[in-house]
Amino acid sequence: SVSMAVDLGGIHMDNPVCTASGTFGNGWQFEGFYDVSELGAITCKGVSAEPWEGNPAPRMAELPSAVMNSVGLQNPGVRAFVRDYGDYLAGLSARGCKVICQVAGHSVEEYVRALDLFEELAPFAAGFELNISCPNIAKGGSAMGSTPAGAAEVTRACRPHTSRPLLVKLAPTNVGEIARAVEAEGADALTLINTIPGMAIDVRTRRSRVSRPTAGVSGPAIHAIAVRMVWEAARAVSIPINGVGGVASGEDAAEFILAGATAVSVGTANLYDPMAAPRVLRELEQWAEGQGVTDINELIGAFEC
């Protein structure tokens, strides 16, 4: 058998398969389908210091081979998040699955405030992921993460506020330069990619199919783009990468590993098949076995170019 343990910037995971933020509830919703602690890690939905209402409905639309969303980072705020999900997440962590808490903000100060609250109230968090790439909020999100200077500023401000592993989630633009900027500010790992900005028009009503004219596109349609972005980031930095984008099979996950990802997150596939993540793990392990290695780490970045 193949050793599947990996180290994502100080987050030691039993295997590389995670779930992507916002597509997996906060984990407990899936316990009726399988033992969630089989996964390497879960990433919780982004949480801000104060509660956010999110965007008006409709917030999701199905496209050919893709989903589009304009959720707008609806969340209950760190205090209510910890109150409502903290016990489950602490138990999950005790069962061996790492919990990554995602941090959202509209400004540098808001990211820091949310991180401070998490730091104080969430001992179960194995690490934190700064979401600087959400395409669905007017301020913060991709407004902050779309330039090397903006991405560096958020990372620099947050870094001294936790000694736990700090991940930064990037948008699929200017990836190499932004990856280098956040690495220089002390990020321990990168997650990429977030959804790709898109729009879909209902031609009968002439209106957007979701409540905002622009939204984020996810799912199989963005997988090849995500693989390319992970490969570019992996060549630009030496910190590990968590690959996200259209993973629905072990082969999809294997592509990310070969392109240079240390971990792989299943997102949109969770919405279509609640068993997607454990299946991806099983298939990834079978692939690694077939490659004749004894340790999955031998395959990270092993793409022959």
**Catalytic site residues?**
134
Count Cα atoms within 13 angstroms, Cβ side, for 110. 19
Tokens (6 digits) for 284: 């990834």
Q: What are phi and psi of 126, to 5 degrees?
A: -80, -20
Residues near ligand DOR (CB under 6 A): 22, 46, 69, 71-73, 131, 133-136, 194-195, 216
- Beta-carbon contacts of 150 under 8 Å, excluding residues fewer than 6 positions away, are 132, 143, 144
Cis, bond preceding 193 (omega within 30 deg of 0): yes
- Measured CA distances, 154 to 139, 186, 305 (Å): 13, 11, 34
Q: Which residue's beta carbon is nearest to the bound ligand DOR?
A: 216
Q: Name the minimum Å distance from CB 244 to ligand DOR.
A: 10
* Token pair 């965007």 in the structure block, residue: 55
Tokens (6 digits) for 215: 């939204």
Q: Name the minimum Å distance from CB 270 to ligand DOR.
A: 14
* 245 or 260: CB nearest ligand DOR: 245
* 71 or 254: CB nearest ligand DOR: 71
Cis, bond preceding 172 (omega within 30 deg of 0): no
* 136 or 297: CB nearest ligand DOR: 136
* 15 or 194: CB nearest ligand DOR: 194
* 93 or 133: CB nearest ligand DOR: 133
* 37 or 194: CB nearest ligand DOR: 194
Listed residue (13, 5, 9) closest to 165, CA to CA: 9
- Measured CA distances, 291 to 13, 69, 253, 284 (Å): 21, 37, 14, 11
Tokens (6 digits) for 122: 């969430």
Q: Name the minimum Å distance from CB 300 to ligand DOR.
A: 25
Q: Name the minimum Å distance from CB 124 to ligand DOR.
A: 22
* 67 or 277: CB nearest ligand DOR: 67
Q: Name the minimum Å distance from CB 266 to ligand DOR.
A: 15
Distance of alpha carbon 173 from alpha carbon 160, whole angstroms: 27
Distance of alpha carbon 121 from alpha carbon 162, whole angstroms: 12
Q: Name the minimum Å distance from CB 275 to ligand DOR.
A: 23
What is the residue type of 129? Answer: E
Listed residue (215, 268, 205) closest to 57, CA to CA: 215
Q: Name the minimum Å distance from CB 64 to ligand DOR.
A: 18
* Token pair 């919780």 in the structure block, residue: 44
Distance of alpha carbon 200 from alpha carbon 209, whole angstroms: 6
Distance of alpha carbon 302 from alpha carbon 257, whole angstroms: 8
